[in-house]
């Protein structure tokens, strides 16, 4: 009897490039005539962002912009002055081979920045940013899904994979004017602007994707020798064209802030009481159509010697998504170190690491939270210190979610502070976590089976049934393979309902041919 093999083509995820590229950032800046002399430096921030990228053959090219924001005070005033500069870089990466229809992830971050005043009119900055680069593609891989003849037994497992993948992106510009409240002072300078995009709502309408969401904007500005904090949201609603999209795809849209510029303008009375906000976001759409295939992960013949070729495939796994939240608190100052006035407090996560807990039913998330504040110290000077606080939290997974690897997207929802009656300054951050849990990094699959039909397996005796003492949780497949019989025969003979021995014990092993 001939052996007939049925094959299934499974798209295998393939890592084309995984690395980090660094870029030095330098600034030699002379203040314009209308700016006061530098007396005291307060703060420097460098914010990198990827504005565009493209792949041509085996080369990835991307545009990196670094926004530099320096705050200082003049000699005769406590008014905070702001210097904003931008540095743009075109970067290339040799991928090693052509990468058509590849999925690219570029995650920039600021590594360090050292700044100083060379003299009263000149600023010098030396720093670095880095970009985490991953480029993944797909390769088609054939695996065995079924086999008939030659007394072949197959151990099958279901594999869920991405049978289709669509991507699209759209840049959106949002402009809005915000008027100050009656109790707020006029704007002298914008000191700090933080802009983040929360998850958006999506809906498929007539083959097009409708995305609605909002951008949270937090700003600090100086005015009348004080610092004022404001927070507001900008709404957007956009239609994204995705060729080939239909109801069979699961879609996600990830908003990414490219820029957020705040400028003060005059109202009808000529006072700087209008904030003009111009923000640009990129909506990254990813749509995946999933399929499930039964593939063989092991094989043997009950009668003939055979050889099995195995291969590890990295089918693109569809992660289970789980939202979690927790609160982190940190003691920032006490006694004389507590500022006279705290104008605003915020925090940013960095260096996030995740892993599956030892129990297999939890996720351990660790990293750093950088707490920052705008305050007035005991001497009446404006200060904006940073404080890094390590954290580690363990969150449990729901019963219906499990896996072997996990990644997390961490976002600070809100940061608050409190000064106790004992004079202790404590900050609290409410943190949201989006967990992506993957079932497996790779799967072993049978890619070919060869049977030697010229001979038969030799047994250690002439018997139709054999006694065997199984151990707890032993796999019936392993027993059947050892004695060249079938799983079905063992389960039927011993009235078993599962393919593992729950408690161990004596088994009757029928011999099949």
Q: What is the pLDDT along the chain (513 residues), one digit of tens a residue?
A: 588 999 988 887 788 999 999 999 999 999 999 899 999 999 999 999 999 999 999 999 999 999 999 999 988 777 888 999 999 999 999 999 887 778 899 999 999 999 999 999 999 999 999 999 999 888 888 899 999 999 999 999 888 888 888 889 999 999 999 889 888 999 988 888 999 988 889 999 888 899 999 999 999 998 877 888 899 999 999 999 988 899 899 888 999 999 999 999 988 888 999 999 999 999 999 888 888 889 999 999 999 999 999 988 876 666 788 888 999 999 999 999 999 999 999 999 999 999 988 888 889 999 999 999 999 998 888 899 999 999 999 988 887 776 677 888 899 999 999 999 999 999 999 999 988 887 766 788 999 999 998 888 887 666 678 888 889 889 999 999 998 899 999 999 998 888 888 888 889 999 876
- Given 439, 473, 488, the domain boundary residue is 439
With H, G, I as helix, E, B as strand and everything else as coil, classify residue 477: helix
376/484 same-domain check: no
Number of domains in the chain: 2
Domain assignment present for 284: no
Domain assignment present for 70: no
Residues, the chain: 513
With H, G, I as helix, E, B as strand and everything else as coil, classify residue 487: helix
370/434 same-domain check: yes
- Given 391, 410, 439, the domain boundary residue is 439
375/469 same-domain check: no
Residue 137 CA to residue 28 CA, distance in Å, equals 42
Residue 102 · residue 137 · CB < 8 Å: yes
Residue 412 CA to residue 329 CA, distance in Å, equals 12
Q: Which two tokens stand for residue 194?
A: 């933080």
Domain assignment present for 413: yes
Residue 146 CA to residue 155 CA, distance in Å, equals 10
Domain assignment present for 420: yes
Domain assignment present for 477: yes
419/464 same-domain check: no
Instruction: Note down the domain range covering 370.
Output: 318-439
Residue 23 · residue 49 · CB < 8 Å: no
Q: 10 Å Cβ neighbour count for 433?
A: 20
- Between the two ends of the chain, the Cα-to-Cα distance in Å is 13
Domain assignment present for 464: yes
327/435 same-domain check: yes
Residue 486 CA to residue 357 CA, distance in Å, equals 36
485/375 same-domain check: no
401/486 same-domain check: no
430/476 same-domain check: no
């Amino acid at each position: 009897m001939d052996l007939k093999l049925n094959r299934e083509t499974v798209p295998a995820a393939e890592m084309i490039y995984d690395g980090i590229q660094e870029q030095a950032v330098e600034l030699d800046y002379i203040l314009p005539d209308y700016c006061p002399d530098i007396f005291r430096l307060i703060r420097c921030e460098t914010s990198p962002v990827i504005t565009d990228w493209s792949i041509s053959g085996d080369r990835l090219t991307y545009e990196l912009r670094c926004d530099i924001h320096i705050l200082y005070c003049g000699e005769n005033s406590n008014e905070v002055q702001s210097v904003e500069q931008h540095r743009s870089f075109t970067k290339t990466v040799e991928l090693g081979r052509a990468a058509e229809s590849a999925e690219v992830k570029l995650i920039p971050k600021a590594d360090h920045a050292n700044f100083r005043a060379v003299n009263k009119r000149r600023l010098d900055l030396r720093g670095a940013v880095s970009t985490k680069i991953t480029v993944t593609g797909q390769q088609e891989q054939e695996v065995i899904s079924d086999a008939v003849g030659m007394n072949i037994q197959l151990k099958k497992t279901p594999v869920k994979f991405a049978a289709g993948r669509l991507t699209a992106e759209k840049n959106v510009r949002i402009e809005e004017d915000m008027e100050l409240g009656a109790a707020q002072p006029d704007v002298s300078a914008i000191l700090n602007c933080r802009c983040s995009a929360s998850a958006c709502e999506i809906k498929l309408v007539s083959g097009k994707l409708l995305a609605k969401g909002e951008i949270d904007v937090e700003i600090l500005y100086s005015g009348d020798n004080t610092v004022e904090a404001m927070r507001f949201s900008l709404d957007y609603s956009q239609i994204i064209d995705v060729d080939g999209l239909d109801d069979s795809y699961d879609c996600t849209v990830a908003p990414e802030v490219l820029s957020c510029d705040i400028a003060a303008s005059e109202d009808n009375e000529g006072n700087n009481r209008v904030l003009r906000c111009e923000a640009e976001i990129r909506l990254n759409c990813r749509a995946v159509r999933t399929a499930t295939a039964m593939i063989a992960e092991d094989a043997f013949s009950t009668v003939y010697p055979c050889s099995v070729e195995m291969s590890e495939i990295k089918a693109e796994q569809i992660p289970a998504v789980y939202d979690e939240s927790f609160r982190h608190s940190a003691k920032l100052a006490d006694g004389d170190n507590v500022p006279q006035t705290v104008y605003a407090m915020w925090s940013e996560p960095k260096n996030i690491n995740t892993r599956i807990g030892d129990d297999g039913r939890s996720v351990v998330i660790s990293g750093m939270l950088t707490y920052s504040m705008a305050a007035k110290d005991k001497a009446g000077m404006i200060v904006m210190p940073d404080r890094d606080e390590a954290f580690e939290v363990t969150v449990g997974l729901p019963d219906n979610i499990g896996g072997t690897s996990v990644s997390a997207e961490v976002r600070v929802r809100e940061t608050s502070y409190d000064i106790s009656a004992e004079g202790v300054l404590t900050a609290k951050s409410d943190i949201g976590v989006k967990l992506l849990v993957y079932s497996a990094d790779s799967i072993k699959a049978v890619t070919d089976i060869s049977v030697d039909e010229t001979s038969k397996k030799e047994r250690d005796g002439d018997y139709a049934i054999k006694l065997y003492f199984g151990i707890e949780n032993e796999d019936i497949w392993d027993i059947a393979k050892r004695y060249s019989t079938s799983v079905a025969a063992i389960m039927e003979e011993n009235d078993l309902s599962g393919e593992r021995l729950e408690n161990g014990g004596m088994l009757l092993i029928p011999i099949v041919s």
